[in-house]
Amino acid sequence: MTSRPGSNSSGTGFDLPTKQSRRAELESLMAAQNFWDNSEKAREVVSQLSALKSVIDPAKEAINTLKDIEELFELAQMENDEQVLANIEIDLTALQKRCDQIELSGLLSGPDDMRSCFFSIHAGAGGTESCDWASMLLRMYCRYFELAGYTFEELDLLPGEEAGLRSVTLRVSGTFAFGKLSCETGVHRLVRISPFDSNARRHTSFAAVDVMPEFDEDVAIDIREEDLRIDFYRASGAGGQHVNKTSSAVRLTHIPTGIVAACQNERSQHKNRAAAMKMLKAKLYMIEQQKRDAEVAKLYSNKGQIAWGNQIRSYVLQPYQMVKDHRTDFQTGNVTAVLDGEIEGFIETYLKYRAQQRNVKK
C-alpha cells in the first residue's frame, strides 16, 4: 500500500471504514426474518457480503500483524537482537506483499463492483477475420474466468457467416466480477498473418468487449411496455436440442434507444425473457451512468466504431509478438500466455490507473 496498513485510505480508493459500514448494513439485512423470502435478492446480498469480507478481514489481519511487528521491533531494539531484527525484515516484506493485494481489492470500490455481470464480445471491422478474432477472445476470457474462479454461462451467441462468431453474451458470477471485468471494456485489436488469406498477408482485426453489472429485479429503471418490441425465435444451438424445436429464444428491442438484449440458453421462453430484461435494464442503467462519467461514456458510446483509433489494447502476432494496453502502456511479449487467459496484470494495472484518474478529477 502507499500508506501504512493501519491507515484508513491508501490514496487510491481503499476506504476501510466505509466498507465496514456497508458490511454492517448487509449483516443487518440478513438478520431480518423475511430475508430469504426473495431468494434471488438474498443471494445477491450474501454475495456482496462475502466480497466485502474478503477485503475487510485481510485488512484487519494486516493491521494486527503490523502492531505485533512494531512491538517486537521495539523489544529487539532494546535487546539489540540482530537475529530477531533480521526476521522482522522478512516479515515486513511478506506483509508488504499482502498489503499490495489488499490495496488492489480496495480499488474495487464502486457501488456495482461486487456484482456479477453480463459480458459480451462483438466482432467489428474485418469480416471473417474479426469473427475469428472474437472467438479467440472468447476462448481467452473463458480461460481467465477459470483461472480467476469465476463461473459463467452462455446466454446468447450469433455465429459468424463463415467462421468464428459475430457476437456472444455470457453471465459471469464471482467476487468482484463486474469491477474487474469492466477494465476490459473497449475495442481489442489483433494483428497477424491471416489463416484465411491464401497469400499469407498480414491482417488487422477488431472486436469489442462490453461489460454490464447484473442487477436485482428492483433496479430503478422504468421500461414501458409500449417502448418494447419483443421477438421470439429458435435458438441457434446444436441440432436436436429442445431449444431448437420451439421458439423459446427472446430478443427485446428498446425502441426509444434501439438497444437490443437477447437470451436463448433457457428452455423456457419466460426465463429467457426475464434474463433478456435484466440485460436490457443493465444497458439502460449504463447509459444513465454515461451522463455522469465521461470515461465510461467514451467506452460505451454507440457512436464509437469497432475499428481503427478506438482500441484499448493491441495483440500483435506479426511481425513481432507483443500485447500492449494503450491506456496504461502495460505490455508483455508473452502473447501465448495472454491468449491462454493470463490477463491479470493488465487488469491490475488498469485498476490502479483508473483510481489515480478518479483522484485527479476530485
Q: Give tens-digit pLDDT for 99-144.
A: 877 877 778 867 788 888 999 999 987 788 999 999 999 999 999 9
Q: For residue 308, what are the contacts with CB-CB under 8 A and spacing of at least 6?
A: 125, 204, 206
Q: What is the pLDDT of residue 9?
A: 39
* Helix (H) or strand (E) segment spanning residue 123: strand 117-123
Domain assignments of the chain as residue spans, ordered by start: 16-106, 117-361
pTM of the predicted model over 0.75: no
Question: Residues 278, 177, 259, CA angle at the centre, nearest 5°?
Answer: 30
Q: What is the pLDDT of residue 146?
A: 96
* Helix (H) or strand (E) segment spanning residue 102: helix 82-106
Task: Please give the Cα distance from 204 to 319 (Å, whole number).
Answer: 12
User: What are the contacts of 46-50 at 24+ separation with CB within 8 A?
Assistant: 47/114, 47/115, 47/116, 47/173, 47/175, 48/114, 48/115, 49/23, 50/175
Class of domain 16-106: mainly alpha
What average pLDDT does the chain have?
82
Class of domain 117-361: alpha beta
Q: What is the pLDDT of residue 217?
A: 58
Task: Please give the Cα distance from 40 to 81 (Å, whole number).
Answer: 57
Question: Residues 254, 162, 336, CA angle at the centre, nearest 5°?
Answer: 95
Low-confidence ranges of the chain (pLDDT < 70): 1-14, 109, 216-220, 236-246, 288-309, 358-362
